[in-house]
Amino acid sequence: MTAGDGLLRSGETLYVVQNRLNRIAVLDLNNSGTRGRLVREIARADFDVPTTAAFYGKRIYLPNARFTTPPTPTTPYWVTVHR
């Protein structure tokens, strides 16, 4: 996966956070987890270089690293929730 950063697995589904592409690739894994097939991509307007992912309940939370934004004392950072 290009620009793969964070990985999150739920059963036979693997979510690959593609940080610089501002999207999540969703793959359907085989039973042994050794092969996957891309089934969809998730892109959101509020992604700004997401770096990892975590489940909380049925939602996926992604922190935005904002690597393309020069940091200042007032630069905002946020977590995007999906689902």
The string of pLDDT tens digits covering residues 40-63 is: 999 999 999 999 999 999 999 999
pTM of the model: 0.91
Q: How many CA atoms lie within 13 A of 59 on its CB side?
A: 8
pLDDT for position 17: 97
Q: In the chain, what percentage of residues exceed pLDDT 90?
A: 96
How many domains is the chain built from?
1
Any bridge partners for residue 36, and if so which?
29
Q: Measured between alpha carbons, how far is 55 from 66 in angstroms, rounded to an integer? A: 21
pLDDT for position 53: 96
Q: Measured between alpha carbons, how far is 68 from 21 in angstroms, rounded to an integer? A: 12
pLDDT for position 83: 79
Q: Measured between alpha carbons, how far is 83 from 67 in angstroms, rounded to an integer? A: 24
- In one letter, which amino acid is 5? D
- What domain range includes position 32? 4-82
pLDDT band of residue 64 (cuts 50, 70, 90) is: very high
